[in-house]
Every structure is written in C-alpha cells, then in structure tokens.
Structure 1
Amino acid sequence: MPRPDIHLYTAATMNGYKPVIFLEEAGVPYDLTFIDFSKQEQKAPEYLKLNPNGKIPTIVDRSEGRAIFESGAILWHLAEKYGKFLSDDPMTRSETLQWLFFQVGHVGPMMGQAMYFQRIAAPNGHEEPFSIKRYVAESRRLMEVLNARLEGRDHIVGAYSIADMMIYPWARAYPWAGVEVDDLPHLAAWFDRIDARPAVRKALTIPKAQPQFWDAAADADAFVQENAARFASDVRGS
C-alpha cells in the first residue's frame, strides 16, 4: 500500500489540532508523528531540518518533496492542494487570508500569553497579575471582534473554511485562557456549529484528547500541575 502524501508532525495543542481538523474534514489520508515536548523532540536536530523554528505543527508533502511549517501556511497549502475549504473567488480568498492572519497575529499570541501566565508561570511561582489582566482583557476583546463578525453569519468567511479551522481551536479554548464569553451569543452559536462536526470531534482526540482545554467542567487540577511541570524550564528564573 503506498504511503500517504502527507506526513504530519504535531502535538495536542491549539496549533497542533489545526491541520488534523483539515485532514479529517477533507478525508485525506496521512501519517502522523506525535512530538513529545517532555522529551524536547521539537528541538531534535532531525526535526529542526524540517522546522527550523522548533515548533509544531509541520508537514512533509512527499509528493512535492518538501516540508512546510507554520499552521497557517500548512492549511493554505492543504486547501490549495486538495481544492477544499478555500474559495476560488479572489475577494473571498483575500478575506480568508485576512482572518488567518487575525488568528496568527492576534488570537493565538494573546490567548497563548493568557494561558502561559495563568497555567505555567503562576503554578511555577511567578504570579504576574498585571500580565494576566492584560492578556485576558485583550483575549476578551478579540472574542468580541469574532462575535461581531459572526452576527448574521454561520462561519467566519462564507462557507466553512480554513478560517474557521484556524481560529476555532484557540477561541474554543477560552476556559483554559480564563476568558469569559457567556454574553457573546454569535460566538457561542459558532462554537456549537463547529463542536457538532464529527470530523472536528474526532480531530480533537488526535494525537491526544485534552478536554481540559475546552471544557470548563473538566477536572483540570492534575492536568494543570502536569502541564506546568512540563514547561517549568520555560519560566524565567525557575
């Protein structure tokens, strides 16, 4: 049996789930290598040849003989390669790209910092109330932007697209970031629509399910300690 064109290197993180969602939604066969952060596999010399930034996700497209890193670039490549979840209309494509950059430049970094200061720095003895307040507030503002965008729309840009796939894993992790969204009805309705997609539900279990990210009712205490310990070396002064 021939090997799939796509080999995905990923982990169970918000960025790591994005290409899994695309591949599962598109029904594209792929190989998967789980990158174990606790073993610093993302910094291994062989992996750095594929992704010089030492992050996840990365794909190798065997049919083209090249590696692609950065989740936005990966989803754009897959959408063009397979002709799925990206409109042919130039205006819609431009809008899609704008919302991809909105996630890459704003939602991911701001919510990532909100998570870092609450879930990694604080449990490792570096409580930073000002930083937490700043990043949670900015993350909340971004959720308000999304809520406004989704008024009267089922999806971020036209039909379900890579814009939804890019933004969803980060925005949906609002409980982990400590961001309140109860009064944002259009955002909530969008979450419900994406939550209900079978391919998305499956993707969020690959390579590993982390319900603590998405579910405020999940028992996160042990996971918080495990997660904080995994990244303790990243906390300056620890």
Structure 2
Amino acid sequence: MHDFDWIYECAVIFYVVSLLGYFIDFLQNNRKANRFAFWLLSIVWVLQIIYFFVTLMQINRFPILTPYEGLYFVSWLIVTLSLLINWFSRIDFFVFFANIIGFIMMSVYVFSPETELLPFITETMTTELFFMHIAMAFLAYAAFTLAFVFSLMYFIQYEILKNKINFRRLGRFGSLPELEKMSLFFTMIGVPLLLISLIWGAIWGHLTLDTFFYFDAKVVTSIIVLMMYSFLLYMKIMKQEHGKKLALINIAAYLFLLINIFLSQSFSTFHWW
C-alpha cells in the first residue's frame, strides 16, 4: 500500500455513490439523483487523474504496463468518454450502463495483487514503440466497450418495443437509430486503433524478442477480435445490414474481447500484460 492510496479509495467510494444515484434515476426517473450522480462521477474523474499522476511520479514510469494498470487506464477512459457523451447527448442511461463496466474494471484493479516489473522486463517494455502499442490497444478496448454498451442498450430497447413492454422511461435510452449510430461510430474508431496496435506490437516483437510467436494465444485471439469487428463493419457498410443482428454481433465480439484480455495472457509465451 502507498501513502496516496486514500485518493483511490475516495474515488471508489464516490464511484459507488454515483452509480447508486444513476440507479435511483433509472428506477424512479429522478433528475436530481441524475445530476448528483453526474457531479460525483466528475469528482471520480478528477481523483483518477490525480492518482494516475501521483503513481507515475512514484514508480517513475507510465502506469499501464501491467494488466491491472491497464484496467485502471481503461476505466478512466470510460469515465472520460461517458461524461463527454452525457454532456453533449441526451442518451441519459448510457452513463449508468457504461460505468457499471468501468466500476468493475476499477474494482479489479483495487483488489488486485500488487505487481512489480522485473528490471530487465521494464527496460525491454518501456520503449516508445511498446508504449504506443499498449496505449493504442487500451484506447481500442475503451472504444469497443462503449460500442458494446450502445449495442446492449439497442438490444434491450428493441426487445422492450418488440414485446410491447410498458416502460415509461424508454425515451431516455435514446432512439434505436441513434444507439446503432453511436455503436457503429465507436466500432469504427476501435478497429483502426487495434490494427495499429497489432502492427506496432509485431514490429516491437521482432526488434526486441529473440523469438516472436505468431501463434501465441494473445496474438491469435487479438487477430480474431479484429476480424470479428471488421466483419461487423463489412456487414454494415457493404451489406447494408442494420438492427438487432448487428447489435448481437457487437455483443459477441466484445465478449470475445474479454476472453482476449483476461484469459489469453494466461497461455501466452511472452505477454505479461
């Protein structure tokens, strides 16, 4: 534990109360709870930034090189983007759904074992090329997470409308075309970011590692993820597909992305992240 961990603990507490406010708004259509939750989430965002830079000065490197540090970084990106979307868009419930995922990632970080990189690993991994490879991957993960949330909201609203369920706050989900448009937008951002990350990762591996394994579990699953999201864009742009089918493909691709993040590294021969 570090002397500045209280900053992170405060952020977690504010995060919990913020989600509680959004949950009350979701159940009761309480605008005051929504505004209260928004400002609490803004405080969480500020505390995350403070903790991030204090950690950076403490360990003397950019804190995204371990899997748990990466989850923290993605959690901060989710908070950042959800606040921006909430400010400029009227898809009210998006912030609630997106930050459930962000909070889970943040909680995994806070309860994770503290890991230190070995000196020789640190020297190898902190090259500019490797840093950009990791940063692009995490930006892609954040984009795909938001695309998943919009697709999930689309699917929920589609089923509510299809089954004629009386849900008075349905309008605060946003319209189906708007949800599909936002999901496609973040997918279109995530695909090139992930492609660039894979290219830079392959170049870094060839320049740094004695043996680069193309059939490494992390490499293979990352390529499959890229192919799944590329197929989604192909179906939308070339085949003019839309609606529930695209939403389900996006949800399936994200679930496979989670396998890529959490499981494939256990079977990887050279990925420590």
More helix by share: 2
TM over 0.5: no
Pair member with larger Rg:
2
Structure with greater proportional strand content:
1
